[in-house]
Amino acid sequence: IEKVDNTVVQFIVDAFHGQAPTLAMHPYGCRVMQRILEFCSKLQARPILDEVLQKILPLSDDQYGNYVVQHILERGAADDREAVWEVMRGHVLTMSMHKFASNVVEKVLQHGTQAQRDALHAEILLTSEGGGDTPIVKMMQDQFGNYVVQKMLEYSGGEQRDKLVNCIRESSTELKKVTYGKHLLS
């Protein structure tokens, strides 16, 4: 796929059509799919990409499928990255606390638009009603979520960063009791 003309590899693209999400969750299939998205023409890759965009959440949770979603967020067209983000909206907390999906959330922070990062921050910095932990506190205490919070710190600035730092400071007592929280505090 990387070395030969696109017309020669059409049979591979055709073989993926109709089963792209399943093949994206395969250890070798996810690699082939990333190369298709990277090296084939937009017209060739579009049917496969459309299939993948229909299964963003299950693919994000998968040990191999998450790499395909990350690839779209990192290298995909702006409208495809936006389509991924629209599916993720409202699921950021759950995804952030998942071993594989947390990597997808981190890619939004690294490669998303400012509007997407702002929306992600707004979703995570929600205040809790009823006295329960806010999403950010849950994430800071989670083995995978704390890495997302670290990326939030790395890719935020100004007022957004100040809010984040204040949340961390306000939760420092609870964070000192949790292994992952201690790491975040340091």
> Could you read off the pLDDT of 165-174 as tens digits, one per residue?
888 888 888 8
Determine contact, residues 67/29, Cβ cutoff 8 Å.
Answer: no
Reported pTM: 0.91
| Residues 150-155: contacts with CB under 8 Å, at least 24 apart | 150/184, 151/105, 151/106, 151/109, 151/110, 152/109, 152/120, 152/121, 152/124, 154/109, 155/109, 155/110, 155/117
Please give the pLDDT value at position 128: 52
> Could you read off the pLDDT of 86-122 as tens digits, one per residue?
999 999 999 999 999 999 999 999 999 999 999 999 9
Angstrom distances, CA of residue 123 to CA of 101, 116, 134 = 16, 11, 10
> Could you read off the pLDDT of 135-160 as tens digits, one per residue?
888 898 899 999 999 999 999 988 88
Q: How high is the mean pLDDT of the chain?
A: 92
